[in-house]
């Protein structure tokens, strides 16, 4: 039970990486606050944890609205009395996100608001709660595209994830001596609804896959396993890192045949 006695908050818990992580955290002993805007699916994640003998609550929150994020953290404290692990995972990948020429300004603003502002607001209210709980771990979901750029243009998404990396590094340095670790999880291409709906043709999927040495999309549960390591005391000397889990994509120099 690698998170025994810890309280965790997971945003984007209704599906994908967030759901798998909430379930895995609970299976490893954490009491989990599941947060998402998709109320029914988020409640289903919390219910699955409870049905399996764990402790969880479901909180409906828009991560881009400060008052709702503040209330989300407060609800976690009210329910469980502490906060030790925060996984700022909620995000979007808009289907109209393309290159700088074709992407409309409102797509840029929306993506930045959720993916970058949402992480900032999470940290803003989570840091004091974690500090008051004696320290812990913040994990922010970034992406491999923040390191390399994407083969399929998605400029707003890429820029928003670059912002997450920069924010994460600075917070890691600022809070290192407060026993608060801050790391960025950088997934490679995943077989999730979010990416599969963006790569909506076989040509787009193959264009992304050809760069992955392992030759397959990753799974959400594989990202959850990485998040578990960053959440647990096993990563006690890890902070400010870009924790890349990408099937070898960022290590590849030549496209494999």
Question: What are the residue ranges spanned by the domains of the chain?
Answer: 7-239
Q: Which element (helix H / strand E) includes 181? A: strand 180-187
pLDDT at 257 over 60: no
Superfamily covering domain 7-239: NAD(P)-binding Rossmann-like Domain (3.40.50.720)
The SS3 assignment for 131 reads helix
Distance CA 100, CA 46 (A): 39
Q: Give the mean model confidence (pLDDT) for residues 25-33.
A: 98
Among 81, 69, 62, residue whose Cα is nearest residue 7: 81
At 218-230, the pLDDT tens digits run: 999 999 999 999 9
Confidence of residue 196 (pLDDT cuts 50, 70, 90): low
Active-site residue, selected from the candidate residues 125, 157, 237, 253: 157
- The mean pLDDT value of the chain amounts to 93
Q: Give the mean model confidence (pLDDT) for residues 13-37.
A: 98
Is position 157 annotated as part of the catalytic site? yes
Neighbours of 183 (CB within 10 A): 26
Residue 59 near residue 45 (C-beta atoms within 8 A): no
């Amino acid at each position: 039970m690698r998170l025994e006695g810890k309280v965790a908050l997971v945003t984007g818990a209704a599906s994908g990486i967030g759901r798998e992580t909430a379930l895995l955290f609970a299976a490893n002993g954490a009491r989990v606050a599941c947060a998402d805007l998709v109320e029914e699916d988020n409640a289903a994640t919390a219910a699955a944890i409870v049905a399996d003998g764990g402790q969880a609550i479901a909180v409906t929150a828009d991560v881009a609205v400060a008052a709702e994020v503040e209330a989300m953290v407060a609800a976690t404290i009210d329910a469980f009395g502490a906060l030790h692990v925060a996984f700022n995972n909620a995000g979007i990948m808009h289907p109209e996100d393309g290159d700088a020429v074709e992407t409309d300004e409102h797509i840029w603003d929306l993506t930045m608001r959720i993916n970058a502002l949402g992480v900032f607001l999470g940290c803003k209210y989570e840091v004091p709660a974690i500090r008051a709980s004696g320290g812990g771990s913040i994990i922010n979901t970034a992406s491999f595209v923040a390191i390399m750029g994407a083969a399929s243009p998605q400029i707003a998404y890429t820029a928003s994830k670059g912002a997450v990396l920069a924010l994460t590094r600075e917070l890691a340095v600022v809070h290192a001596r407060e026993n608060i670790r801050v790391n960025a999880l950088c997934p490679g291409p995943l077989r999730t609804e979010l990416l599969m709906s963006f790569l909506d043709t076989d040509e787009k999927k193959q264009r992304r896959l050809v760069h992955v040495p392992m030759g397959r999309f990753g799974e959400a549960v594989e990202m959850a396993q990485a998040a578990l390591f960053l959440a647990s005391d096993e990563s006690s000397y890890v902070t400010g890192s870009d924790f890349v889990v990408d099937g070898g994509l960022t290590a590849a120099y030549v496209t494999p045949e």
